Amino acid sequence: MKAIVFKEYGPPDVLRFDDIAKPTPKDDEVLVEVHAASVNYVDWQVLRGKSFLLRLLNGVRKPKHNVLGDDVAGRIEAIGVNVKEFKPGDEVFGISDFDAFAEYACVKEEYVGLKPANISFEQAAAVPYAGVTALVGLRDKGQIKTGQKVLINGASGGVGTFAVQIAKSFGAEVTGVCSTSKLEMVRSIGADQVIDYTQEDFTKSEQRYDLIFDVAAYRSIFDYRRALNPEGIYILVGGSMARFSQAMILGPLISMAGSKKLDSLGWAKPNIEDFAYMSELLEGGKVVPYIDRCYPLSEVPEALRYYGGGHAQGKVVITM
């Protein structure tokens, strides 16, 4: 089968469109004929090998796993002997283990959901990683409630566009923070207010929020704490390793010293129930994946180059 492979860390130029063996599903996996996949920040990080933690997981000097891509949507071709919820022919979307940029991919049963009939494979492929991260971060970690004032920092990216819409589905009043060129897009997906971070620092305004969902942390955790209401919650989802380290170390200490809670999400481990919940939101039109660009499988290097340039709004999708 055709796939995008890399045998060394580096820029998108190291990627190759090549033939590799078709995978065989394990007992708890389904084999998906991939119709679409999508790009996530972790793909960009793994490709370049910039994160030492990711190098520890995938090989310090050279990548042990040579295919990128987590998000996948397609049709099940075969199932493992222990799979109970799905059957061959089912149209699904889910999170694979770094093999989605290929014609076939294996996915654990617990990381799969049935694709809603009212959305395309391209839209479905945009959902898994970003959508579930937004859902778990807001609902489980953030304990979002109807009527709350919620701020999404980094509202124009993959996770951010889902976070805006999911927060609205819970009945929250949503403020999205993004750059000048993306303000209208963030309004179009449902944000009640938008803030241009190049013109205004929301941590220095008088406005306070019940929940801050931070996909693009670039300030001290103390700045974000200042922008919270007395019982407010701050959840760090994305940003530099320095900000993650600060949130992991200082967050619990600050939380113990007062009524405000500061925490980090880490990896939002998905399950069948989360995918079913996302399917309901998609079927009801409460969440509509925002796709910036689509690229064919052979042009994954260009897709990653575009994504890495920081210009993408919403999701970048790969089609087969």
Q: What global pTM score does this model have?
A: 0.92
What's the whole-number mean pLDDT along residues 258-272?
A: 78
Give the number of other CB atoms < 10 A from CB of residue 54.
17
Top pLDDT among 120 and 64 is at: 120
At 8, the pLDDT band (50, 70, 90 cuts) reads very high
At 223, the pLDDT band (50, 70, 90 cuts) reads confident
At 147, the pLDDT band (50, 70, 90 cuts) reads very high
Cα dihedral across residues 151, 157, 162, 164: positive or negative: positive
Which pLDDT does position 50 carry in this prediction? 81
Which pLDDT does position 218 carry in this prediction? 80
At 250, the pLDDT band (50, 70, 90 cuts) reads low
pLDDT at residue 79 is higher than 70: yes
Give the C-alpha distances (Å, rounded to integers) separating 25 from 28, 65, 104, 273: 8, 17, 10, 22
pLDDT at residue 89 is higher than 70: yes
For residue 182 the two structure tokens come to: 């993306």
Provide, rounded to the nearest whole percent, the portion of the chain with pLDDT above 70.
Answer: 94
Assess contact for 7 and 64: CB atoms under 8 A.
Answer: no
Lowest-confidence region among 25-39, 59-73, 121-135, 251-265: 251-265
Arithmetic mean of pLDDT over the chain: 92
Q: Which domains does the chain show, CATH number per domain?
A: 2-127+289-319 (3.90.180.10), 130-264 (3.40.50.720)
Paired with 37 in beta bridges are 72, 318
Lowest-confidence region among 97-101, 151-155, 214-218, 278-282: 214-218
At 121, the pLDDT band (50, 70, 90 cuts) reads very high
Which long-range contacts does 2-6 make (Cβ < 8 Å, 24+ apart)?
Answer: 2/102, 2/103, 2/297, 2/298, 3/67, 3/99, 3/101, 3/102, 3/103, 3/297, 4/67, 4/68, 4/69, 4/101, 4/102, 4/297, 4/300, 4/301, 5/66, 5/67, 6/47, 6/63, 6/66, 6/68
What's the whole-number mean pLDDT along residues 1-7?
A: 96
Provide, rounded to the nearest whole percent, the portion of the chain with pLDDT above 90.
Answer: 78
Assess contact for 35 and 75: CB atoms under 8 A.
Answer: yes
pLDDT at residue 249 is higher than 60: no
pLDDT at residue 299 is higher than 90: yes
Exposure of 259 by Cβ count < 10 A (0-12 exposed, 13-18 middle, 19+ buried)?
A: exposed
